Amino acid sequence: MQVAGKVKLPQGKKVAVNIGVDFDAHSVWMGAFGLFTPAYMARGEFGAEVGGPRLLKLFDKYGIKATFFIPGHTVDTFPHAAKAVVEHGHEVGHHGYAHENVSKLSAEEEEKVMVMGLESLDRIGVKPRGYRSPAWDYSPNTLDLIEKYGFKYDSSLMANDLHPYRPRRVEPRTDGPSVYGEPSHIVEFPVTWYLDDFPTQELILGSGGGLTDHEVFFRRCRDIFDYAVANEEGACYCLTVHPQTIGRAHMITGLERLIKHFLENGAWITTLGEMYDNYYED
C-alpha cells in the first residue's frame, strides 16, 4: 500500500501551499518540444527578463517564499536571473539541464544530465535538496539517481494529490498485476496538470492547445484549495507556474488574487523544503 503522510502546520493554518516555479526559459521549448526558432527563444527570454522579475516583486509584496526549479541551461544562459532568485531568499531545486524528457534517456545519459544540472546550480551557490523531473515523468533509473545524489524530496509524480507520500518503483505488466517495490526514503510532494499554468495558457502552433480562458484555470486552483481546507488534515497543495506564462500581465494579476484567497483562508505558503522538514506519518 501507498505510504502517505501529512505536513505539520503552524497554529491556525489549514493547508500547506507551495508555489513551485519551473524557471525553464529557453529549455522547455528545446527539450520538451524540439523548438529552436527565434520566436520560441523570445518567449523563453520573456520568462527570464520580464516574467521572473515580476514574480519576484509579487512574492516580495506578500512575504512569500517559493521553490524555483531551475534547469542548468537557464542558470548558464541567464545567470543574473537565476542569481536573483537566490538573492531574494527562495529555495532552488534541480530541474534537469535542458528540460530533457528523462524517460527517453539511457541510464548513462540521464546521469550525465543530473550531474550537469548540479554543476550549474553549484555555480550560483545552490546545493539542492529537491528534484523535479523536467517532463514530470521518470525512467526506470530516475528514483535510483535521486537517491544516489542525496536528494531529500521529489516533486514530479501524481500518485496522490493533496498529501505527500513515499514513491515506489513499479514494474508494469499486461499479463498479470503490476508489481510494486518498497517505498523509498524520498518524500514525494505530488504535482498535477490541473494545477499547472502552462498546458492551458501557452499556444504551441499545431498542437491545438493554449490560450483558453485563464479564469477557468484560477477557478480550478481555488476549488482544489478550498476542498483541501474543508476535507484534508495536514494537506499539501502544490501549484506550478512558469515565469514566461504566469508573468504575463493578465496572469500575474490572477495569481495575486489567488494568493490573497490562499492567505485569507488558512494557507501556510512555504517552500517544499520547509514542508519536508515538517513531514510526518501517523
Domains and CATH numbers, the chain: 13-280 (3.20.20.370)
CA–CA separation, 101 and 200 (whole Å): 20
CB count within 10 Å of CB 184 equals 18
- Pick from 74, 17, 46, 10: nearest CA to 269: 17
- Does the pTM surpass 0.85? The reply is yes
Three-point CA angle 37, 41, 44, nearest 5°: 150
Q: What is the pLDDT of residues 18-27, one digit of tens each?
A: 999 999 999 9
pLDDT at residue 229, rounded to an integer: 98
Q: How far apart are CA 83 and CA 28, in angstroms?
A: 20
Which residues in the chain land under pLDDT 70?
Answer: none
Question: How far apart are the C-alpha atoms of 211 and 48, rounded to whole Å?
Answer: 21
Cα separations in angstroms, 242 against 48, 111, 142, 178, 248: 10, 25, 23, 34, 10
Contact by Cβ (8 Å): 238, 18: yes
Task: Give the model confidence (pLDDT) of 234-256 as tens digits.
Answer: 999 999 999 999 999 999 999 99
The end-to-end CA distance of the chain, in Å, is: 15
